[in-house]
Chain A
């Protein structure tokens, strides 16, 4: 009888262990998923509005990571406090926003003038141009930053919040503080983008341009400017998600 009870006990323990593992993994998945989601917001903006498949998306991510690193160093590195990497990831947004707009102005915008090409050849050309941008950024990154992995250390990375035990003394969940902060910030940025798109005049213009370029232009929207802003915004958001992902 006692033996049965202890075997049962063991099985229940094992079950709780499994549940704990599943919950732990799910939680980690949600936290990283929020960051990936932010990255997709950047991609979705550019593709959804401009219908350009942006091959340089990964490079924007990389740029965001390095920009976060350098801004962090400029702020005083980890001596400036555990929040430095997060603050610098957010500071990267205006930086890459301007960079993205410049990049758009110098390259893709030139094609939007050439209406005689027809949409199809214009899109093909734009596609090759983003491939070119991707090659330049990734190889330029290789030249400038080298191949050694860098990190943006923060004390939060080594501390965790614990939840539980949830059922008697079983199911104890750990949440890494750095991940939690990163996910919270990513969520905040996502919400800010949603508000920007739904509540502001700029957002309405962007959505109008996404729906129908010509109709938007007839309504007095400067579509080329909207495209420039969208491209900058998409790049900046992607970069921010890169910066927030970097320490994970």
Chain B
């Protein structure tokens, strides 16, 4: 945290030192506009770069900031010194209004929907008769109204704003906030199953992002002294942070800075040098440069440099584990469990997709601290059962009760936080995070205390024998490690009930043995386990009870060694012919 901060400070100070010797007013204006665009791009990146939802609508925030400053000064005579922060707050508030409905959309659809907001605001402000507004001159007290004869002071202000923005970006990048955002970017469903509320985090990111953008807009209008809706709400403003950040590299604090400090001067110089000679040539050159650079460095300049650099310095971080035994939360949770209530009970749960009946009025009660296997042929409804229990799918009928709490209407991430964890049939990991970070994401959402969640993460990693690969990115480890990683991630959230979906599928027999032992260890902690599995012999050794699903109905239930002999079970698995022979 301190190292990048010092680097930022040094870079910005030298920038100011160079700018001090620039006498040409036009050049000074360019030098002022670079940090302003960099601030906008940094703000944009805090949301789009980390969450992965591209926004084409940040002009909405930029423009609101600009007009807030303008209107406060003209209508109520409030100085921009107050106006700019107020504009930032208005931008932040508007993020909530814009974000809540728009987060229903994903991917490209989100990107396109965001275009609408600045365009709508543009027409509103034109309609209000604010086609062109000039800030009034305050001759009696210029400094109090942020009006300076010396353009260099504006450069200093812009650099100061950028410094603030970069500190915010740095905090987001280094904190668990940034980690959670990256997790959401990589797999939103897995993140919410780990107890993360994606909407809440996205909204927080958008709010910060909008605030920075609005601050940039506010300062922009003060520097230019005049504003039009087209200039601050236009598509050019929306696309510029996108171009700058993508050029520099998404999802790092340096990307937007690199983008702004190379592209803005290039385009401004081209405009000044060539625009007069042959109008349009600057656009062609700029466009060509963008195209060629993206073909050459599609991930952005920063990541290219980063890859070069980090290949030389392989980071060797030592993990320090503090504390012994179980994570506190898990211990309290397990102790607080009611003795008499079942761990999980489903009452008449049905699940239909149109005409398709996947689960038919299922009743199931699971005893605490037991291991229950759910088996059944493909298409029996096993994974749907898990999805219903964990909340990905709302049941058409029936109730789901976890240790006496009715969960039917509780959202996925809240169920996870109330002690229900799960793994997925095909591991859903966050591929670019390290194994430890993967686990930490889930610990963070369960435990608010930082050192406690650190401990829970390393505890879970150790329990699952992942210590030696803990620092490797998840996309680089083998299948059995991914299975264990999913288990580690699930138990780091300190669950009381754990759902394992085909955890043994595709593993070799020695690997199966390994994971079976792990599951036993977890049960020994006092965690209730429900497991979907096809590997029968492993199940016979592992579980206390076996329930068999077929066509969405429970066809057998009891001790595993008895269940596998029951006629309907053999029929379901092997067909009526074999049942007759058994």
Contact = CB atoms under 8 A, between A and B. Distances in A.
* Among B250, B278, B280: residue with most chain A CB under 10 A: B280
A107 B299 contact: no
Nearest to B283: A139
B290 A135 contact: yes
A131 B250 CA distance: 17
B287 A133 contact: yes
A140 interface: yes
Contact of B287 (A53, A120, A132): A132
Interface in A105-145: 107, 110-111, 114, 117, 120-122, 124-125, 127-129, 131-136, 138-143
A225 interface: no
B287 A139 contact: yes
Overall SS of chain A's interface? helix
B463 interface: no
Contacts of B112: 53
Nearest to B295: A110
Nearest to A135: B287
Given A51-B108, A114-B298, A136-B288, A128 B280 contact: no
Given A107-B291, A127-B54, A129-B294, A135 B246 contact: no
Nearest to B49: A124
A140 B299 CA distance: 27
Given A120-B52, A122-B298, A127-B246, A132 B291 contact: yes
B146 interface: no
Contact of B284 (A110, A120, A136): A136
* Among A114, A131, A141: residue with most chain B CB under 10 A: A131
B111 interface: yes
Interface string B83-126: 00000000000000000000000001001100000000000000
* Among A117, A124, A133: residue with most chain B CB under 10 A: A124
A121 B298 contact: yes
Contact of B290 (A111, A124, A128): A128
B247 interface: yes
B282 interface: yes
B298 A111 contact: yes
B525 interface: no
B286 interface: yes
A53 B283 contact: no
B469 interface: no
A140 B280 contact: yes
B243 interface: yes
Interface string A171-185: 000000000000000
B57 to A, nearest CB: 14
B294 A139 contact: no
A10 B243 CA distance: 61
Interface string B217-260: 00000000000000000000001001100110010000000000
Contacts of A55: 239
Interface in A72-124: 107, 110-111, 114, 117, 120-122, 124
A132 B294 contact: yes
Nearest to A138: B283
* Among A110, A128, A131, A140: residue with most chain B CB under 10 A: A128
Nearest to A111: B298
A124 B45 CA distance: 13
B251 to A, nearest CB: 10
**What is the interface residue range for chain A against chain B?**
20 to 34
Contacts of A135: 283-284, 286-287, 290
A117 B298 contact: yes
Contacts of B290: 128-129, 131-132, 135
Contacts of A53: 108, 111-112
Given A117-B299, A143-B278, A128 B283 contact: no
B281 interface: yes
A140 to B, nearest CB: 5
Nearest to B296: A110
A142 B551 CA distance: 66
Contact of A129 (B278, B281, B282, B295): B295
A124 to B, nearest CB: 5
Nearest to A47: B108
Given A138-B283, A139-B283, A142-B283, A129 B108 contact: no
Contacts of A132: 287-291, 294
B129 interface: no
B279 interface: yes
A99 to B, nearest CB: 16
Nearest to A107: B291
A95 to B, nearest CB: 21
Contacts of A143: 278-281, 284
A209 to B, nearest CB: 17
Nearest to B247: A128
A3 to B, nearest CB: 44
Contacts of B239: 55, 131
Contact of A133 (B242, B280, B291): B291
A55 B286 CA distance: 15
Nearest to A140: B284
Contacts of A139: 280-284, 287
Interface in B48-85: 52, 54
B295 A111 contact: yes
A246 B111 CA distance: 30
Nearest to A51: B108
Nearest to A130: B291
Contact of B299 (A47, A110, A121): A121
B246 A124 contact: yes
Contacts of B243: 128, 131
B294 A128 contact: yes
A129 B290 CA distance: 7
Interface string B270-307: 00000000111111101111110011001100000000
A136 B283 contact: yes
Given A51-B108, A132-B290, 19 more contacts: A111-B298, A117-B298, A121-B250, A125-B294, A127-B54, A128-B291, A129-B290, A129-B294, A131-B239, A132-B294, A135-B284, A135-B290, A139-B280, A139-B281, A139-B282, A139-B283, A141-B280, A142-B283, A143-B279
Interface of A: 47, 51, 53, 55, 107, 110-111, 114, 117, 120-122, 124-125, 127-129, 131-136, 138-143
18 contacts: A51-B108, A111-B294, A114-B298, A121-B250, A121-B298, A128-B242, A128-B243, A129-B291, A129-B295, A133-B287, A135-B284, A136-B284, A139-B281, A139-B283, A142-B279, A142-B283, A143-B279, A143-B280
Interface of B: 52, 54, 108, 111-112, 239, 242-243, 246-247, 250, 278-284, 286-291, 294-295, 298-299
Q: Which 6 A-B pairs have the closest CB atoms?
A: A139-B283, A135-B287, A142-B280, A125-B298, A132-B291, A136-B287
